Amino acid sequence: MTKMRLANVTAAQWSAGAPIGEDEPANVFGANVFGQNEQRARLPKQVFRALQRTIERSESLDPALADVVAAAMKDWALERGATHYTHWFQPLTGFTAEKHDSFYAPIGDGTAIAAFSGGELVQGEPDASSFPTGGVRATFEARGYTAWDPTSPAFLLENPNGTFLCIPTAFTSWTGEALDHKIPLLRSIEALSKSAVHALHLLGDTHVERVTTTMGPEQEYFLIDKTYYYQRPDLITTGRTLFGAKPPKGHELDDHYFGSIPERILACMMDTERELLKLGVPIKTRHNEVAPAQYEIAPIFENTNVGVDHQQLLMTVLKNVAHRYDLVALLHEKPFAGVNGSGKHNNWSMSTDGGENLLDPGDTPEENLQFLFFAAAVVKAVDTHQGLLRASVASAGQDHRLGANEAPPAIISIFLGAELENVFTALAEGRVYVSPAGEFMGLGSPALPTLPKDTGDRNRTSPFAFTGNKFEFRALGSNMSPALPNTVLNTIVAEAIDSLVEDVEAAVDAGKTVPEAISAVVGANYREHGRIVFAGDGYSEEWHAEADTRGLLNLRTTPEALPELISEQTLSTFSNYGVLSERELHSRFDVFLEQYIVNINIEAETAADIASTMLLPAALRYLRLVQETGVSVLEGEIRDLVNKFVDAINTLRGVNAVHPDGTDVEAIYMRDRVLTTMAEVREYADALERIVADDLWPLPKYAEILFIK
């Protein structure tokens, strides 16, 4: 048996261990969270109430109360086996960061005492010099601060050798500028709340004091056997396979999507869900996705700030738990070329402090002016800032996925559904739309129930779709923090709401009633911004041509999209709403552009090394073997491929050796020269993979990685 066949057999041999636990989900949920129940049980009433006001209304917490909260949090953590705590934050790396400090300190007599003060809870000082700042901080300027975010509950992370307390925090420079994703997200939530409350009061709902945004991201990912992962240096270093011929079978038969979940995969999913439930993450859905070895996990709606924290936790827990089952979770947007990629669908809405979803149309959309007002604000925001939304999801990995007939196109458009689009069109034309009577769908058998028929079909090609009571921003990458896209959504919708409010107030001042004013303003808004609405096939060439005539942007790659972060329009909007200053926006542009360049550079060097030290030697061994057989036709074919392969490798090393100065120019160079040369190297390598003897080829193949579970 060949080495690879032996690996296949090893990977296929898995047996279930002991059950992970028999507790009901309701008993597990939030068990490792210092949430409301623990706070109520451990804090004095006045402290508990003050903390809840901070959480629910974003009121400032009296610093004098921090010591009381810290003591209760420490006692709870120690009782659960924690020995250390950390300020858990989200720098611009896209990952989370933590520095652990012990609760215990020596007291001079050879013993130690557990202590944790309010000051330690509220503020930390990790070294900020080595985190990306985009010029906000020089490398030699090390000071940075973490600040406790009381609106996101502290939690415990368990390790086989112990437990530690995580305190969600913001991360800021010594000068007070945001070095993370949380600070601008919280600022944007406040901005939207202020604008939405003002609008609701104008519309007659004067009881609302606060509006927050909600999100429920759908996370796609791959699970592959650890045996193959550690034989793929490209997966280890870059998160995606830089080589690999397309397998004879992919997802053409549609047999994986929503199919029966393999036993080992289901065991891993259930264990992951249990860990996430303990952390208070409200997991709702699991299923097979389109590609072989691809899956999805999704929570239900929750507050956006907490939801972003939970999404970071979800990705961490998913990776950690997978190892228990000799699996590896891949979160790259395109880990396998020619195979369906992975995204993260960001379901977004707005909710009042009374629990009302402002994007829920109620009985009939045409009778709900409040819903139409807020939906119109979203349409206006997306059309006005379409380039910024595209920039918010830009990355090197995304460029392999967006617009690839498996994910939304790079052109941002909105799908409203036939019914809602008809309502807006009627308002734009100054007429009243009459909804057809409710229709029902017969299924042809008395044993099957009669189903209410939706007024419009879904559109899987739309990057921004209304799905009943929320908008689904589908263009996020699978390994991406949802913080920036949600920060952008909150901010641009706040601006759009304020603009519509001004128009409604002007119409009322001119003598219209509020309902008349809303109808007129919503109609005028749709006439101006309805170009962003599209219900057809977003993958078609016809749509690309039509989008161009409509004046919509088509920012296909990251170097094209990122400048939208620092456009005059973006700078003005984010500055006006206090979400990100000009300096903070420029810092993010610089960080993201540098990450694009560095990621491609790492991929290019990895590809050249694998090609030179693994694939080329295998091809040469096979060429020598063929030469010994004297089959001249086969020898000529292989020799020609090998020569072209060597030339391509040398070209790749050459183009990646020296880059032009200036990140703007360098990013375009990486896209146009380095990536295209990498693709050429891969073309010859994948051709050789189909010819070289199987026992000589050093990399596990797609057919093995994707189908042996």
Mean pLDDT of 174-190: 92
Which range has the worst mean pLDDT, 48-57, 99-108, 450-459, 638-647? 450-459
How many CB atoms are located within 10 Å of the residue 318 CB?
Answer: 22
Q: pLDDT by residue (tens digit) across 20-58? A: 655 666 678 999 999 999 999 999 999 999 899 888 877
| Pairwise CA distance, residues 237 & 176, whole Å | 35
pLDDT band at 137 (very low <50, low <70, confident <90, very high): low
DSSP bridge pairs for 217: 346
Which range has the worst mean pLDDT, 132-141, 195-204, 494-503? 132-141
Considering 62-66, 353-357, 460-464, 643-647, the range whose residues carry the highest mean pLDDT is: 643-647
515: alpha, beta or left? (left if phi > 0; alpha if psi -120 to 50): alpha
pLDDT at 160 over 50: yes
Which range has the worst mean pLDDT, 156-165, 188-197, 446-455, 613-622? 446-455
pLDDT at 361 over 90: no
pLDDT at 1 over 50: no
If one compares 264 and 5, the residue with the highest pLDDT of the two is: 264
Q: List the one residue out of 197, 217, 204 whose CA is nearest residue 494.
A: 197
Which range has the worst mean pLDDT, 1-10, 232-241, 256-265? 1-10
Domain with CATH 3.10.20.70 in the chain: 3-12+24-180
Identify the CATH class of 595-705: mainly alpha
Mean pLDDT of 151-180: 92
Domain with CATH 3.30.590.10 in the chain: 188-432+453-580
Whether the CB-CB separation of 56 and 209 falls below 8 Å is answered with: no
Long-range contacts of 82-86 (CB under 8 A, 24+ apart): 82/156, 82/162, 82/163, 82/164, 82/165, 83/162, 83/163, 83/164, 84/162, 84/164, 84/165, 85/116, 85/120, 85/164, 85/165, 85/166, 85/167, 86/164, 86/165, 86/166, 86/167
Considering 102-111, 128-137, 628-637, the range whose residues carry the highest mean pLDDT is: 628-637
Considering 246-255, 256-265, 579-588, the range whose residues carry the highest mean pLDDT is: 579-588
Mean pLDDT of 131-135: 75
Mean pLDDT of 642-654: 97
Considering 453-462, 512-521, 560-569, the range whose residues carry the highest mean pLDDT is: 560-569
φ and ψ at residue 461, rounded to 5 degrees: -90, 0
pLDDT at 441 over 60: no
Predicted pLDDT at 369: 84
Predicted pLDDT at 632: 79
Mean pLDDT of 677-705: 96
pLDDT band at 266 (very low <50, low <70, confident <90, very high): very high
pLDDT at 445 over 50: no
pLDDT at 443 over 50: no
Q: Identify the DSSP state of 611.
A: I
* Distance from the Cα of residue 40 to its chain's centroid: 33
All residues at 6 or more sequence positions from 261 whose CB lies less than 8 Å from its CB, including other chains: 269, 286, 287, 288, 295
Residue 404, both tokens:
């690839």
The fold for domain 188-432+453-580 equals Creatine Kinase; Chain A, domain 2 (3.30.590)
pLDDT band at 589 (very low <50, low <70, confident <90, very high): very high
Q: List the one residue out of 92, 236, 183 whose CA is nearest residue 609.
A: 236
- For residue 686, what are the CA distances in angstroms to 94, 234, 247, 683, 690? 32, 14, 11, 5, 7
Q: Which residue has the tokens 């898995």?
A: 14
Q: pLDDT by residue (tens digit) across 329-339? A: 999 999 999 99
State pTM to two decimals: 0.93
Mean pLDDT of 218-245: 96
% of the chain beyond a pLDDT of 90: 69
Question: ∠ at Cα 661 (657, 662), nearest 5°?
Answer: 130
Q: pLDDT by residue (tens digit) across 526-554? A: 999 999 999 999 988 999 999 999 999 99
% of the chain beyond a pLDDT of 70: 89
Domain with CATH 1.20.120.1560 in the chain: 595-705
Whether the CB-CB separation of 195 and 498 falls below 8 Å is answered with: yes
Mean pLDDT of 660-685: 96
| Pairwise CA distance, residues 220 & 391, whole Å | 21
The CATH number that domain 3-12+24-180 falls under is 3.10.20.70
| Pairwise CA distance, residues 489 & 382, whole Å | 8
Q: Identify the DSSP state of 614.
A: I
Mean pLDDT of the chain, nearest integer: 89
Whether the CB-CB separation of 481 and 491 falls below 8 Å is answered with: no
